[in-house]
Structures are given as structure tokens and as C-alpha cells.
Structure 1
Amino acid sequence: MADSKYFSTTKKGEIHELKEELASLDRPKKKEAVKKVIAAMTVGKDVSMLFPHVVNCMQTEDLELKKLVYLYLINYAKTQPDLAIMAVNTFVKDSQEPNPLIRALAVRTMGCIRVDKITEYLCDPLQRCLKDDDPYVRKTAAVCVAKLFDINPELVEDRGFLDMLRDMLSDANPMVVANALAALQEIQEISGKEVLQITSHMLFKLLAALNECTEWGQVFILDALVSYQVQDSKDAEKIVERVLPRLQHVNSAVVLSAAKVVLRMMEEVRSEELVKVWSKKMGPPLVTLLSAEPEVQYVALRNISLIVQRWPSILANEVKVFFCKYNDPIYVKMEKLEIMIALASERNIDQVLLEFKEYAQEVDVDFVRKAVRAIGRCAVSLEKAAQRCISVLLELIQTKVNYVVQEAVIVIKDIFRRYPNQYESIIGQLCDNLESLDEPEAKASMVWIIGEYADRIDNADELLETFLETFPEETAMVQLQLLTATVKLFLKKPTDSVQRMIQLVLSAATNETDNPDLRDRAYVYWRLLSTDPEAAKDVVLANKPVITDDSSQLEPALLKALMEQISSLASVYHKPADTFVSRQRLAVQTVDTLAAARSFAEEDVAAAAAAAPQATGNGAPAAAAAAVSSAPVVDLLGEDLLGDSTPAAAPAAPAATPGGLDDLLGGLDVAPAAAAAPPAAAPAAAAAAADPFDLLGGMAAAAPAATAAAPSLPQLLGGEKGKGLTVYGQLKRVGGRVVYQLHVNNGSATSVDGLMLQVNNNSFGLAPADQNVAVGTLAPGARGSAAVPMAYNPAKLAQGPANMKLQVAMRSNQLGVFYWDDNIPLAPLLEEGGTIDGQAFLAAWRGLPQEAVQKLDVTIADVEAAKARLGAVNLFVLAHRPVPGTGQDALYVTGRVFGSMQVLLELRLMRGTPGVDVSFKSERQELAAAVFAVVRSSLT
């Protein structure tokens, strides 16, 4: 009889009836009641109140009823931990039953009940079951050890379960071996410690068990073999000899795991003949995977893509297998295209191009675009086939299909960059299709072609003029290309009409745009053209490096890591597992670990104290003491407990006294901007006034300071999370720019290089102007400092309320990717040129919404000194006046936050009296708290 009837009960008073039925002496009735409880639990009803009644049904000889009760216990034991202890005696008793199924069921269920109170009771039954005579019980107990380790790792180590698992690797039953191996691998992954080390003696036992295991047992063994350190090529040959038959297995997971082992061994042998033989045997099994359902095909293709990048010879003759079928899903087609590009060669390019041409006439727009780009990538990769690829692209352009033409223009631009001065004869055909270009990337590509070959296109000025008509409405990508192309045209054909054109473009790019990249590039071009046109030619018309197609190529270190993770999610995502799997490491902090952490912290403090006298000269003892006192305190987790310990900036000299101010809404008597600016900024301001195009003015002197990040910066990364790497850092303002000052200590056992930085979207649009962290190669124990310049990137601007947190990722070639969250201090984001005139202040104050007001517990005796302190943090006093009838002084202050966000302040104070009333207005009122904090710190 079907059990569906249990899922359709909605009677009132059902719980009461179930209690009575569970207490019945009639066994069939009791069993029916438990089934009803399980059904109710399955559909989401809360039946936890029946816990003691269900537990009373455990003591039964009926195996089916016992399984149902155990299922209930697994689900509700967490919510009823005190009552769960009631079941312990029955579990212990069941673990000694003559029936091995009941013994295994008992120990499995105890491992699934994740309640700390009963873990101690699990140890003795588990220890007995690990030595049980029945292999089914032993293999079940082996998995239970991994579950227990996840709950209480100390208990597993203290009771010697890890040693028992290692002994089980020599068990006579292959399934026991496989489960013990799987449990040890899981524990090693959770703990981060090396608990499994395969010896040569153990290796041959695993290979012997391989033939007799189930398919998933074979997967566990094959995955473990990848980590075996091969002693010589003979070991590799023996392993491959035993693993090769697994390539014919019906389970695709076994095939991929076997392929992973063979590929790993191919790295170890030096015989090219042997590698060729193995490669030939690996090709057909991989091809067979493509006959499965689409989902399996996709996983296989993602893995094959990795294999082809490292060993293209394995499938070099199988390119036809990857031709797309009409009924393939789009995700399968896209992956096949990538592999076809990788396998394309001079021998098969004609077949591949014929396929791509067919794909470019399909109805799926995304697939068509990908096919056209594939033709271009083949042209870039294969020099001898470039002419044939261009011929196919020209045929596609003749179809006049809008998106086909645009993609063709994009890839032809890349071909021109790959083969300069070879295929310019086709430019005329491209110019005939200008009306088809409406997408930014296609427009930018065509503009680049016109600018690059302006001396060979008779009407280049007319063509560019058609694009310039819509210059203000174009995207940043197109505007940048139009600016550069117009400059190239002017340098190649300096006619009067072109001269007028360049003046209009430079004027629009410097005065009518909010894009800092476009404006800065226009300033650079303007400076070059106005001072030294010949130097401009050397810069703008210089020979460009030849490009290569690396769009689908992974970095060697990443590819090597992924090759060892074939048949896992990492190989599908093409990312290391630690970038998308967040798993808590349960390594226990011991007294030795704590001592090591403290020793490391003391070493940093001592290094800071030793470095201070050399850096400061006179006054060295005081500087050393300051360096020691400001060093971060490291706790068990490697976190900074003191936060920002950087000393406050020295106050600037007093600013000039501003004139009086009438009523705020009746007009402003504004002090000159130069008087409001801090004296330190005067030389840079004077230089800017003398030469508005001196974009690099004042930066040279600041460079040394920018690269000397002190170890006393707040700690951002450390402990186990840093894998031996400790990073200190903070956002600073140096030489008029925001920089991320970083100090990196390499406490790992390997040299570290290739450090790169990236940030997530944030409230200020902060992004690294250069992602490289220039500390070079850090040997074990070495340290390095760098100042990463930060720029405003609108694409990084997060929407919503202001968040003073910065999510940062740092990648290294050896240790992978690290993540941390950092506080964004507002003071470094206040710009030097943040002044505005009085009328603009008044208009902005009137137009902005209701201000935020806060009373700061600050006492000011000298207003002029207070104005100087505000100027030192780039908050500029526009006007100062007494407030009639109150005895107060009013200061009207403005500043500009990174990203061109103006903030307006009114400060009211009474000299020598505690308390400053601060009113704040801005388009982003949520910045009020951060601005108040800057004002408080500067006035204190």
C-alpha cells in the first residue's frame, strides 16, 4: 500500500491522537503513528512536542520502525538537546546488537546528531565499531569519525581516532579503505593540518583496493593519489598502469578523476614517448563524455578546457568532436567554441573557419557575436591563417546584419594591432559601414582604426567629424578614443580644419565633462601639443607592442592549481576553491601557537623601534618610543585590537583673518581662497596657477613618503586567515593623492610575489589606480612596504546609504587570494582644492535639504588656531563673523570629498566655553557622522 496517505492529514487535534497512538501497545498501530509523524515533519509541520513519545519507540526489534525513529531524532535533536540524552542508552545498546545493520545504523545516527552533550557518549561505541568484525560497520564508523571531528576536533585527537583511521587504510576490505581515506581527506581539509601522508607502502595497497571499490570509492582513492609525491618515473608508470583502465568507466566522475591522476603523473615523467602514449589513450575517454546529457557535457567541457590549455596534444586531432549541434544548449555551444579556438591550427583552420562562418549566421545573437570574435581570435593566434580569417570576416560584413558588422569591426581592430601595415586595404570596406555602428565598443574600434590610419584615409577628418557631432552623449570609451584619434589626425595632418577640430575636442573634454580620465588625458594632450609637438608625436604615434590572444588563457600558477582540482567545482568555475568556498578552520589554538603570535608581534614592535632612530635623526629616542607605543596589539586571531594608532597631523600655521560676514542669507563677505588654504599647499597652488596643465606638480617630492609604510599601521590580515602573511595598512593622503599604505610581512615558508590589490564597490568609488602592490618578491621572513595609489572609478561607486567599510582582496601567485574589511577614514578623502566662492556656498546652502546638527564637546580658546587646524585637514574656512547678541563666533566651512562631493558646515562656538554647534549640509546627508568625527579630531 502506498504511503502517500500519510501526507494528506489536516485534522484538528492530530497531535493528541498521535501521542495516544505512539503510546499504544499494538506494534502495527505504533508504526503507523511514527510514519504519520515523519510525514508531518517532512511537509514542514512542527512535531517537536512529540519527542519523548517517539524516543520511547526506539526499543524495538522492527528495523523499519527503528530507522524511522532515528530519522526523527536526527531532525529534532538540536532543538531538544536535553531530551536527546534519553536516547543515548538505546544507541549504546544498539551498537552492541548482533545484527551488523543495527550496529552501523546506531553509530551513523549518533554521528549525525550534532549535539555536544552526547558526543562523549559516542566515543566508546565508535571505538568498538571501528574495530568491528563486519566491514559494513567499520566503513560506516570511519565516516562517523569525520562527523565527530567537525563537532569536537580535540576529542577525536585525544581518543586516537585519527591513528585508527590510518590503520584502516590497510584493511582487507576495499570499501573500508575508501571510506577511511575519504574521512582523512575531509579532516585534513577542515583542519588545515596534514593528517594524511601517502607512503610508497600505502600507495600499492590503495592501488590494489582500486579495482574492487564501488565507483565513489574509486573517486576517493583517485583524488588521494594526486597528492602522492612521486619518487621517480617508475612510480609514475606503475600508478598510470593501474589507473588507465578507470578511463573506460561508465561513471564520468571516475573518468575525470582518473584523467586527473594521469595528467599529474605526466608532469613527473621525462620520457616524451611515454607522454605521447598516455596522451593518445586519454583522448577517446574524454570525447566519450560529450555523449552524455547537456549538464554532464558542460562539466566535461569546462574540465577539457583546462586540459587543452596545458596539454593541447591530447585532443589535437579531435576538433570535429567539438562542432556544435543544432540542439545543443547555448552554454554547451559557448564552451565548445572556446575549445575549438584552442585546438585551431594551420592543419584544421579551414574546417574550423567553415564552422564559425555557419555559426555567424545563426539566430542566437550572443552565439553569433561569440562566433565572429572566435574568427578574429584565430586570426590573431595563427599568422598564416590571418588572410583566410579576414576573408571570412569581409564576407560576413557584406551580409549587412547590424550586430555581425559591429563584431567584425571590433575583431578587425585587433587584427590590425596584431599585424600592423599588412591588411589596411580593407579599411575602405569598413568605412562604408559606419551607419551600422551604434554600440560603444564597435564605435570605439572604428574610431581607433580611423585615427591609427588617418594618413591613409583621405576623408579621415570628415569621418571623425561625424562621430564628434555626438561627442557629449557618447560613452567614456568612445570619448577617450575620439580624443586620441583627433590628436593623431592633427599630428599627421595639421590642417586648419583639423586644428579647429582639435581645439573643440580638447575644450569639450576639459570643460564639459565629469569624467576624470577623459579630462586628465585631455590636459596631457593639451600640454604636449602646446609645448613640444615633436615630443607629442613620439608619445602618441609611438610603435605599439604586438598583441596576442590570451583572453581564455589562465595564469600558469592558477592553471597548475586547477589541474590538481579537475572533477571538482573549482575546475568548473576555473577558480581556486578557496575563492568561493568559505569553510571554518577548526585548528585548535595551543599555548605554543599563542606564544608564537606574541613573539611575532614583539618582533614587529622591536623592528619599528630599531628603525625609528635611523629615520628621524635628532630626537631618535622619542621617535622610537612613539613607534613602539603605536604598534598594533595582536590577539589570538591576528587582529588589531587598537584600531588606528596613527598620530594626528601637526597643525598648520594660522590662516589669514577673513573679513566680517553679514547675515548668512543676505550675502557673504568671503575670505580669499588662498588665505583659507593651508600654507603647506601654497607652493603647489602657485605652481598650478602658473601652469594649469602641470598634472604631476608636487608629486615627486612626496614619492619617498608614499612608499615608507610603517609597521605600526593597523593590522588588516593575519593569523591562519593570512596563511603566514601579515598585512598592515591604512588609507592615507600623500602628495595630494589618496594612497593605500601597506606593510607586508611574509611569515610563510615560501617566497611570495605578484601581489595585486582589488576592492569591491564602495560608497566613494575608491579603486586602485594600479593593482600591483610593489613590494617585489618577499622571501620567507622578509618584509616590504608599498603605497598603492587610489583613484575615483564611477563603476566602483556603490548605491545606497554611505558605508565607511572597504572590502579588499589581495592576490599572490603562491598563496592565493586573501580578503579583509577595512575602515574608510574620511580625512584622507578630503581634497586640497575643496574651496568654493561665497555665492556658490550661499546658493548650495539654500538649495540643500535640512541640515544635520551635532554639538561637539570641544573647547576652543583661539579661533585662528582652530581655523588653521581645519585647514590642515582640507576643511576651508570661507568666512568668520560674530553672531550678534549671542557672544558666539560663526565659521562657515567647506570641503570636497573624494569623488567631487561638496560638504558645507557652519560652526558656532564661544571662545573658552565647552561646546561647538556644527551644522552640516551636503547632497549626501549620510556623511554627516563621518564629517563630525573629522571636525572633532581636528579641533581636539
Structure 2
Amino acid sequence: MSDAKYFQRGKIQELRAELNSDKKDRQHTKKKTVLKKIVANMTMGNDMSSLFQDVINCMQIPVLEIKKMVYLYLINYSRTKPDMAVMAIPTFVKDAEDQNPLIRALAIRTMGYINVEKVVDALIDPLRHCLRDQDPYVRKTAAITVAKLYMYDRLLVESDGFIDMLRDLLADSNPTVVANAVAALTEISERSDNIQLKLNMNVTTKLVVALNECSEWGQTYILEALMSFVPQDVGDAELLSELIAPRLQHANSSVVLTAVKVIIYFMNYMTKEDEIISMCRKLSPPLVTLLSNGPEVQYVALRNILLIIQRRPEVLRNDMKVFFCKYNDPIYVKLAKLEIMFRLANATNVDQVLSELKEYATEVDVDFVRKAVRSIGRLAVKIEQTADRCIAALMELIQTKVNYVVQEAIVVIKDIFRKYPNQYERIIGTLCENLDNLDEPEAKAAMIWIIGQYADRIENSDVLLDDFLYTFLDEPVEVQLALLTATVKLFIKRPTAGKDLVPKVLKWATEDVDNPDLRDRGYIYWRLLSTDPTAAKAVVLSEKPRISTETDNMEPALLDELLLHIASLSSIYHKSPQTFIHHSKPRFLIPSPVLNRQYQDPITSLPVQNVDAGSSRNPGGLDSNPYALDIVNLGNNTNGDNLLLDL
């Protein structure tokens, strides 16, 4: 029978009476039913806290299903009734020693959720025993409970030796226990301001071997922890990458993306170029496979791919066709694919890319069409050999007279003019025919720039600018700045045509507008023109640097950081986690003898010094025990504020 019948508002008195009924119920069937009603009401948001004492009395019933519901109730209401929660401690302690391992694990896990001081104090001894329990299910639950306990009381976990006990679990025979121990240590390291997890080669190799027997979640935890290993010898990174490579064929997208992240991280410590290229080729098929999933997974994969190909262009270089847009792709997937198509475009595949973009520019989705038109212009700037074909395609699109298409085309043609001066001025006449269709600031500013730049070649440039000046004071700052500069260019190139416009524009710019940038530029132009026209000409008509698509690339330092956060929100937002997660620990490449490029500390801009935690005991810097965990002071801090977990 369906459980929907339990989701009905129940009266507290009736539920209490049913819980305390004296009728014989050897199988505890009635109490199960009542507890289901209570949990259902609690789920619906009805206040069941007044039944706290009555529900606690049910903890003594040795039935796992009942205990699960009682413990769920306790977790929900222990914050509002901490004094009542203390009454459950004796039963918790008793259950932690129960013969049934499921009950032992359930007791420990529930106590870890209840952040009441007396409950936490009572948890210490049972948790310590459960970490050494004979049953692996209990041990893996206890490992995660340590991480929960650390969120409540950090000093307690560090001082009572729980981190050492987690370290010991890394040698456990059960891979699930190992995975949970790794997850707990990683979580503690991420949340602590003064603790850093560092793995040595022996532990790392054993963790990689344990991947084969873990669940998909366990594999993700272990792969994430491998980011704490810094290769020190030639061949370490290559070996580990080869061992991790089978994870790229996993059915779970999280495992695949995390494996990609770890391999890309290890590439920074590879010294042989052929090994790097070989690993890049291995990354392509799994990334392509991710694009056969639903649109949400596709989008996550595409955002990560966009980061990867900026650092490793060899990846997916020959897989352009998989990024061609499908008619039923959501708009966010289409836009992400367009950006990747542009990034992967080169002289050999540009024809098929341009053909696709021209087709996209005739679609009905306005945002998609705008992006496609802009991509055509960016292709012309990126690949010189295809500039003529891109211009021809843009002119065809302008002839359609579709307003937003024309405006996007004018915006990108301005960039083409800057990239290739004195090559495509023949199309200016066609552009001027569409002045009446311009209503967007960016398109207006682009067209005004073109008119000013070629004022001496456009016969009626003064008339065209005068038409724009009718609404000067009502235009956005972007358009006003373009008009000011274009008018000054007109005056310098054609003094007779511009002599009436310049004083008017300069007066508006310096007296009638509030924007300080516009006023300052107006004053500079005014003084230049009034004191030294030759200097004004040299400044205003100076040779501009040719634009490049390199400006579209991400800052190298930010890209380095984001590549260490693949498969996370950071890689989707393309923002450092510190910008949206409070107290998030920054990640950066740690220097080592095999780091294949110079890396600067993102804060000090000085080379990072590698601190070897074990150098005081042996030349290798790592304890002879492969699972050794050292807590040592770093730097000159004598209070132990900085702790290094050297595993």
C-alpha cells in the first residue's frame, strides 16, 4: 500500500495516545504506523516537537526501522529542544555497542548530526571505538562522522587524535572505508585555515589502486584527494596519469570530469612533451562522450571544455563536428558550443565552421543569431586567410535587413576594420545605408567610429555625424564618447566640414553632461585643438594597435586556478571560488623539481617556497611509514597556527 495515506494532518493528542497505547503489539506494527504519521507531518512542516518525550521512549524498541524514524525525529528537533535531546544519550551509547552493525552505525551518524554539547561529549568514546570496529560499514560511517564533528569542534578533533585515526583508515582493507577516510581528511583540510593535506607517493599509489573497487562516489572522493599529491620525481605524474586513465571510461560524469581534472593537474609536472600530447589525446573521447548526455550535463561539460582547450589546445582539436549545434539544443548549450567552435577554429576547418555559422545566423532565436554573427566577425579577426569570406558572409546578412543582425554585423565589422586597415573600406557605403536601423548603443558607437575613422573618404560624413548629434544629450555615455572623438577626427581631417560641429560638441561635453570621463576627454580635445593642432592630429589620429582575439583569453593566473577546480561550480561560473564561497581555500600549483613552468604565488607574486614537512627526520622528506601523519609548525609561527598533514 502507498505511504501517501500517512501525509495527513494528525492531531497531537491522538498521535500521543497511539504511541502510548497498552495494547499488545509484539511486532510493533502500530508504533511503526504512528511514527510514520509523525515523520510525514514533520516533513510537511507541521510542528511535532511536543511529542519529543513520547518519541524518545520508542528508542528502546530494538527494531531498525523504528530506530531510523526516531533518530530522524531527533535530528530535526534537537536544535529547538537541546535539553530534551540529552535524554537520548544513554540509548545512543547503548546502540553504539549493539550487535547489529547497522544500528551501531546509525547511532554514531545520528549523534554526529546533533550539535548539542553534551551529545558531542558523549559521542567521543563511541566514535573512537567505531573507527576501529570490525564491520567496514561502521568504520566508513565513523570516518564521515569525524568530518561532521570537526565542523562543530575543530580543537576537539585535533587534540583527541581523530585525525591520526583517519590516517590509519587509509590502510584499511575495505576500499569504501578508505574512500570515506580520504573524503573526511579532504573536507577537514578544506575547512581548516591552518591545516593542509599532503600525500606522498606510497599513499597516492595505494589510493589509485583502491579506485578499482570503490563505488562511483568513493572514486570521486579519492580522485579529488589526489590533487593533494605534488610529484617530486620524473615519471611520477606519468605513472599516476596512466593508472587514473581507465576512470575516463566510467559511466558516471562526475568520475570522468574529476579524472580529467587530476590528469590535467599532473600534466603540469610532466617533462616529456610526447607524454603530454598522448594524455591530451586520451582526454578527447571521454569529453566527447559527455556531450551525449542530457543538456544539463552537456552544459557542465562544455564550460569545463572551454577552460581545458585554452590551456591544452591539443585536446579536441580534431573533434569540431561534435560541437555543431542541434536544432533541439537549449539556448545555453548552443551559446556554449558556439564559443568552443570559435576557439577550435583554425585554417584547416574554418570553412565548415563558417558554413555552420552562416546557417545559425538565419535561425529564429535572437540571442543565438547575435552570437553567430559576432562569431563570424571574430573568425575574420582570428584567421586572416578567411577574412574575405567572413566579410562576404556579413554583407549577405546585412542585406537581409533584419535589425538585430545588421547591428551585430556593424559591431564586428568595426573590429575587422581595426584589424585590417585600408582593406575593406569598399563596404562602408553599404553600412551607411542602414543608419536608420541602429537603435542599440554598441552598434551606434561602432558606426560612429567607422564614420569618424574614414571621415575623409565618406563624402557626407559631416551630415551623418550631424544627424547623430541631434540626440547627443540623450544618448548613453558609450555613444557620446564615440560622437565626441568622431567629430574631432572629422575636424582634423576636413576642417571646413567639421568647424561648425566641433564647438557645439565640445560645449555639450564640458558643460552639459555629468559623466567625468566625457568631460575630461572634452577638455583634453579642446585644449589640444586650441593650443597645438599638430599635436592634436598626432594624438587623435595616431596609429592604433591592431586588435587580436588574444584579448578574449582568460587571465593565465585565473585559468591556472580554474583548471584546479574542474567539475565544480567554479569551472561553470568561470570565477574563482573565493568570489562566491566564504573562506574557500585558494588552490595553486605547488613548485617541485619537475614542475614544467614557472609559477608565481598569486598573492605575493614571488616564487612559492616548498615546505618539506619530513626533512628533519630523513633525507627524503617523508616518513618511512607510508601512512605517517605529521603535524608540524610551518614558518616562524610558534603557536602551531599552521599545520601540515603529511600523509
TM-score after normalising by structure 1:
0.62
In 1, Cα distance between equivalents of 2:373 and 2:234 = 45
Does residue 24 (structure 1) correspond to residue 21 (structure 2)? The answer is yes
Asked whether 1:126 is paired with 2:130, we answer no
Structure-2 residue corresponding to 1:569: 569
Which residue does the alignment assign to 1:252?
A: 253
1:434 has 2:431 as partner = no
The amino acid across from 2:531 in the alignment is T
Question: How many Å separate the matches in 1 of 2:570 and 2:431?
Answer: 42
* 1:263-662 pair list within 5 angstroms: 263-495=264-496, 497-550=497-550, 552-583=552-583
Query: Whole-Å Cα distance in 2 between the matches of residues 88 and 128 of structure 1?
Result: 16
Write the distance in 1 (CA, Å) between the matches of 2:504 and 2:583: 57
* Residues 417-465 of structure 1 deviation map (CA, whole Å, 9 limit, x = unaligned): 1122222222122112212212111111011011111122222112212
CA contact (8 A) 1:116 1:151 kept: no
The residue identity in structure 1 corresponding to 2:460 is N
CA distance in structure 2 between the aligned counterparts of 1:342 and 1:257, rounded to whole angstroms:
23
> Which residue pairs with 1:6 in the alignment?
6
Distance 2:201 2:331 in 1: 46
Cα distance in structure 2, aligned partners of 1:296 and 1:252 = 8
Which range moved further: 355-364 or 432-441? 432-441
* 2:47 partner SS: coil
Q: Could you say which residue in structure 2 is the equivalent of 1:54?
A: 55
- 1:24 aligned partner, one-letter code: S
Matched letter for residue 570 of structure 1: S
User: 1:751: Cα distance to partner?
Assistant: 7.5
Query: Is the deviation greater in 25-34 or in 561-570?
Result: 25-34
Deviation at 1:198, TM superposition (A): 0.6
Matched, 1:15 2:16: no
- Distance in 2 (alpha carbons) for counterparts of 1:575 and 1:378: 26
CA gap of 1:179–1:317, structure 2 versus 1, over 3 A, is same
Moved more, 192-201 or 259-268: 192-201
Which residue matches 2:88?
87
| Residue deviations 1:205-238 (CA, integer Å, cap 9, x gap) | 1011111000010011111112211122311121
Is the contact made by 2:578 and 2:584 (CA closer than 8 Å) also made in structure 1? no
What one-letter code is carried by the residue in structure 2 that aligns with 1:399?
Answer: T
SS at match of 2:291: helix
Q: Deviations over 1:264-322 (max 9, x none)?
A: 12221122221222111111110010010111111011111111111111111111100
| DSSP 3-state at the match of 1:232 | coil
2:512, 2:265 → 1: CA distance?
58
Q: Which amino acid aligns with 1:564?
A: L
Partner amino acid, structure 1, of 2:499: Q
In structure 2, how many angstroms separate the alpha carbons of the residues matched to 1:92 and 1:218?
A: 32
**TM-score under structure 2 normalisation?**
0.89
8 Å CA contact retained: 1:752, 1:778: no
Contact 1:752/1:779 (<8 A) preserved? no
Code of the residue aligned with 1:62 in structure 2: it is V
C-alpha contact 1:751 1:779 (8 A) present in aligned 2? no
Q: Residue in 1 aligned with 2:597?
A: none
CA contact under 8 A between 2:234 and 2:271: conserved in structure 1? yes
Instruction: State how far apart, in whole Å, the 2-side matches of 1:214 and 1:71 are.
Output: 26
Give the whole-Å Cα distance in 1 for the aligned partners of 2:237 and 2:294.
Answer: 33
Query: How far does residue 583 in structure 1 lie from its aligned partner after superposition?
Result: 4.6
User: Aligned pair in 2 of structure 1 residues 261, 543: CA closer, same or farther (>3 Å)?
Assistant: same
1:64 counterpart residue number? 65
Change over 3 Å in CA distance of 1:207–1:80 after alignment to 2: same
Distance (whole Å) between structure 1 residues aligned to residue 153 and residue 227 of structure 2 = 29
One-letter amino acid of the structure 2 residue matched with residue 577 of structure 1? P
Q: Hey, what's the Cα distance between the residues in 2 that align with 1:238 and 1:551?
A: 36
Contact 2:190 2:584 in 1 (8 A): no
Determine the C-alpha separation between the residues in 1 that align with 2:302 and 2:552. Answer: 14
CA contact (8 A) 1:81 1:117 kept: no
Alignment of 1:680-719 (within 5 A): none
Matching residue of 2:631: none
Higher helix share: 2
CA distance in 2 between partners of 1:87 and 1:24 (Å): 21
Deviations 1:382-415 (A, max 9, x none): 1222222111111111111111011000001011
The structure, 1 or 2, with the larger RCO (C-alpha pairs under 8 Å, 6+ apart) is 2
**Distance between the aligned counterparts of 1:149 and 1:212, measured in 2?**
28
Long gaps (5+) in structure 1: 586-719, 721-748, 755-776, 781-940
Q: CA separation of 1:133/1:778 partners in 2, compared to 1, >3 Å: closer, same or farther? A: closer
Rounded to whole Å, the distance in 2 between the matches of 1:53 and 1:404 is 70
Q: 1:903 aligns to what?
A: none
2:245–2:259 contact (8 Å) kept in structure 1: yes
Aligned-residue Cα RMSD (Å) equals 1.8
- Given that 1:562 and 1:574 are in contact with CA atoms closer than 8 Å, whether structure 2 keeps it comes out as yes
Q: How many residues are treated as equivalent by the alignment?
A: 592
Identity %: 60
Aligned to 2:74: 73
Contact 2:144 2:184 in 1 (8 A): yes
CA distance in 2, matches of 1:525, 1:502: 10
Between 1:236-245 and 1:135-144, the stretch displaced more is 236-245
CA gap 1:452/1:752 in 2 versus in 1, 3 angstroms: same
- Structure 1 counterpart of 2:630: none
CA shift for structure 1 position 551:
5.6
Counterpart position of 2:240: 239
Query: Could you tell me how far 1:193 is from its partner in structure 2?
Result: 2.8
Unaligned runs of 5+ in 2: 587-599, 610-647
